[in-house]
C-alpha cells in the first residue's frame, strides 16, 4: 500500500512538471497572427474596447495569443459604469471600434481579419 501512494505522488508531480513545462513552450512560440497584430500597431491602428464587451472578447479571441500585441485601449472604468477620458475625447460610442489613423476609416462592431487587413493594408499570413 505504501508503494502505491509513493507511485501516485511521483506520477502526480511528473504530470504537474510536464504541464508547466508544456505551457512555457506553448506561450513562447510565436503565433501565426503576431506579424499581423504588430503591423496593425505599426500603422497606428487603435482598437478601442471594454472588458465587459462580449464582441471585444470575441475579437481578442480571434487573434489568440497575438491579442497581447494588439494596440488595445480600454474604454471602460474599472466598475464598468463609465468611460475613460481618452475614449470620451475620441468620441468612442460603441465597442469594439477600430480607428485607422493613416486614413479616415473607422470600423465598429465585430470585424473579420480580412476586413481589418483590407482597411489597414496589413497582409494576413
What HEC string does the chain produce? CHHHHHHHHHHHHHHHHHHHHHHHHHHHCCCCCHHHHHHHHHCCEEEEECCCCHHHHHHHHHHHHHHHHCCEEECECCCCCCECHHHHHCCCCCCCEEEECCCCCEEECCCCHHHHHHHHCCCCC
- 125 residues of the chain, pLDDT tens digit each: 577 777 777 787 877 877 766 665 555 566 899 999 999 999 999 999 999 999 999 999 999 999 999 999 999 999 999 999 999 999 999 999 999 987 688 999 999 999 999 999 999 99
pLDDT for 27 equals 56
pLDDT for 22 equals 64
Amino acid at each position: 500500500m505504501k508503494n502505491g501512494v509513493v507511485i501516485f505522488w511521483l506520477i502526480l508531480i511528473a504530470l504537474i512538471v510536464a504541464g508547466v513545462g508544456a505551457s512555457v513552450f506553448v506561450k513562447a512560440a510565436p503565433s501565426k497572427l503576431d506579424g499581423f497584430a504588430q503591423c496593425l500597431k505599426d500603422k497606428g491602428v487603435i482598437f478601442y474596447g471594454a472588458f465587459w464587451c462580449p464582441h471585444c472578447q470575441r475579437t481578442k479571441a480571434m487573434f489568440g495569443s497575438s491579442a497581447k500585441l494588439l494596440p488595445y485601449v480600454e474604454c471602460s472604468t474599472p466598475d464598468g459604469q463609465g468611460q475613460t477620458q481618452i475614449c470620451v475625447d475620441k468620441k468612442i460610442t460603441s465597442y469594439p471600434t477600430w480607428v485607422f489613423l493613416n486614413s479616415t476609416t473607422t470600423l465598429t462592431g465585430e470585424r473579420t481579419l480580412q476586413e481589418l487587413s483590407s482597411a489597414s493594408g496589413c497582409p494576413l499570413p
